Chains A and B, each alone.
Chain A
């Protein structure tokens, strides 16, 4: 921390009124190398010698399946699918699963983390110019410590922790999503950690990122993910004695039917609607 503090007192000026910086380092589409190119031997000889140690062995190359959607009918009960597409089945995958090299500064970050914490990611996703590392939960603390402290990485702040519940991803239903920002290098990356519903434990990053305190409490409150090592993991938005975790997909929205001029409008989660 002492090195970080001394740097903190003499901040690196990133932009002034007279000389605004052009913008964050963005990896353009042209820079991104098509996935699948480049073998491990090629990687090892290049400037990024550790890229072949980013992913765990046998990392999947297809995207995780969010849901399998049948028909075009969304939530709502009481009437059948009248769209005429009830026989249609579509598999919805998360896009962007990539293998190294990733292109641009993504390789610099991935390479350096892999050097410090080998085989830390079970999947890397690049989509819309953003990179997501799906980090093994047992290596999360090591990874965030490296990301914060290493001069080549310097992700000083964990801006946001957000939970996502994917009930159809068996074995990894609950996701905690961390958005990190590096002031020094003006970069953003995202970490994602998954845990099964039956063992909803993820190590807390509060020892490394104190600002994640409230964010992790909210994620516990809303999704029931237990952040091990959090100093006071209590409910934050819901009342202390609340039962359940409201933003999980299996938690009902609630609401009552509303009568208006004789007609009854069901609550939003029970209305007839398309969900294409």
Chain B
């Protein structure tokens, strides 16, 4: 028995599972799942001065989904960090090439499932631009888009700050976060018919108008969020443990952020007020009165505070959208072009959401042309002129860009999403190498990657 074989014997799960059959064991490998930690520590004690390779993930709760971090550890210090992603790759971009342009919303919302409405928005705005109908969208359509996006931004930030606290062992803020997010999801369900994966924002407008009691629900939502969302900041921002764990952690200054293409709260934590809603406005964001939140600390604490502040700014926008929606009551919410408008009139029936009885009656009993039109639009879709565009919006985590190529047909020729999380994961090594393992997890939480968006 070789020296190495002997070393790995005796400890449960310590066989070198990475060696192919017949290959000599390279080194000692531990599978910690269910193993006896005492035994592992005991057998490793005499080699304590050696560098250990630790696989954090892919199923570690602190990695925000299925991400694997290959770490070289010297004791508690991270010597090198190599992120491994792709575990949640779903082929959405490839799949969307085989569906109509309208169905794209249904696919793209599933990328970053926490901020899904922003994916739909980036995609739909890109299709609008390909069709050259950006200026033809009725104002109510854009207002409903902003409404959906800003509620979704709060929900996404609540998840980000809640998970951040949970990773520190602070469970109460996560409970607040989940509770308030649930409130938002209930409102989103009333508005779109679904809690998540909404496919609400479509090319040419939105799927359906607000329900009759929508304004009342929105008023109640804003009122509750105004009271409850600041709770998280009150819990955490002055907490000495939280400060010790996040201040000067995961530092990225402005030039590093530029070098790594960081956007969103990470970029704004360097004091640079870059928010695409202000700097390259879309959907009429320039008409809303809100502040770009910045911090100058460049660290995880600053990013956390920015997210807390941005939720309050989103509430300000929601209050303004609410007044506009009251004013535009009854106006069209989709582009008024029979070639592009989705032929539907959705309502909630006894068996869930579906087309209203009036619409069914019209297409089935009154107008054969309407039936043909419905059939053509739903099965064939509409054509989009050949060309390519790149449209970027301010997603919850940063610049969310959609690069679409059309060949003049009824389906995307190529649809690519530039997800901020995908880009931000690149920054993990520079944020964490030389730091402690516990700091790495804070750095990870501060960039808020959602693996559905990272892997697409």
Q: Report A's interface with B, CB cutoff 8 A.
A: 4-5, 8-9, 11, 13-17, 20-24, 66-67, 69, 74-75, 90, 92-96, 127-128, 130, 132, 156-160, 162-165, 177, 179, 181, 183, 186, 188, 190, 209-215, 218, 222, 235-239, 246-247, 253, 268-269, 273-276
Contact = CB atoms under 8 A, between A and B. Distances in A.
B94 A236 contact: no
B93 A247 contact: yes
Contacts of A163: 416
A67 B407 contact: yes
A237 B255 contact: no
B410 A274 contact: yes
B281 A23 contact: yes
22 contacts: A8-B253, A8-B254, A11-B272, A23-B280, A23-B286, A66-B386, A74-B409, A92-B407, A93-B386, A159-B401, A160-B390, A183-B272, A188-B392, A190-B390, A209-B261, A236-B85, A237-B86, A237-B455, A246-B94, A247-B414, A275-B409, A276-B383
B258 A14 contact: no
A237 B413 CA distance: 21
Given A15-B273, A211-B423, A238-B89, A156 B258 contact: yes
A164 B390 CA distance: 13
Interface of B: 85-86, 89, 91, 93-95, 97-99, 129-130, 132, 253-255, 258-261, 270-275, 278-281, 286, 290-292, 379-380, 383, 385-390, 392, 399, 401, 403, 405, 407-411, 413-414, 416, 418, 422-423, 425-426, 455-456
A273 B76 CA distance: 58
Given A11-B271, A253-B98, A239 B86 contact: yes
Given A95-B386, A160-B401, A214 B425 contact: yes
A13 B189 CA distance: 39
B191 to A, nearest CB: 28
Contacts of B280: 23-24, 186
Given A4-B255, A74-B409, A130-B390, 11 more contacts: A15-B275, A94-B387, A156-B258, A157-B261, A162-B418, A165-B414, A177-B403, A179-B401, A214-B426, A236-B85, A246-B94
A217 B89 CA distance: 14
Contacts of A188: 390, 392
B274 A183 contact: yes
Given A95-B387, A159-B418, A179-B403, A211 B426 contact: yes
Contacts of B275: 15
A225 B432 CA distance: 31
Contacts of A94: 386-388
A177 B388 contact: yes
Given A8-B255, A8-B258, A214-B423, A15 B409 contact: no
B258 A183 contact: yes
A145 B259 CA distance: 13
Contacts of A237: 85-86, 89, 455-456
Given A24-B279, A214-B422, A159 B386 contact: no
A125 to B, nearest CB: 8
Contacts of B409: 69, 74, 275-276
A160 B408 CA distance: 23
B195 to A, nearest CB: 26
Contacts of A95: 385-387
A142 B104 CA distance: 37
A209 B99 CA distance: 34
A19 B98 CA distance: 45
Nearest to A210: B259
B423 A22 contact: no
A234 to B, nearest CB: 10
A179 B414 CA distance: 15
Contacts of B387: 94-96, 127-128
The 9 A-B pairs with the shortest beta carbon distances in the complex, nearest first, are: A211-B261, A8-B255, A160-B418, A17-B291, A162-B416, A237-B86, A268-B98, A237-B89, A24-B280
Nearest to A132: B388
B127 to A, nearest CB: 12
Given A95-B387, A159-B261, A66 B413 contact: yes
Contacts of B272: 11, 183
Given A94-B387, A211-B423, A15 B292 contact: yes
**Most chain-B Cβ atoms within 10 A of its Cβ — which of A21, A159, A276?**
A159
Contacts of B422: 214-215, 218
A67 B413 CA distance: 11
B282 to A, nearest CB: 9
A73 to B, nearest CB: 11
A16 B380 CA distance: 46
Nearest to B88: A237
A246 B92 CA distance: 12
A8 B281 CA distance: 24
A170 to B, nearest CB: 16
A135 to B, nearest CB: 15
A123 to B, nearest CB: 13
B273 A157 contact: no
A40 to B, nearest CB: 28
A276 B410 contact: yes
A162 B259 contact: no
A22 B286 contact: yes
A164 B414 contact: yes
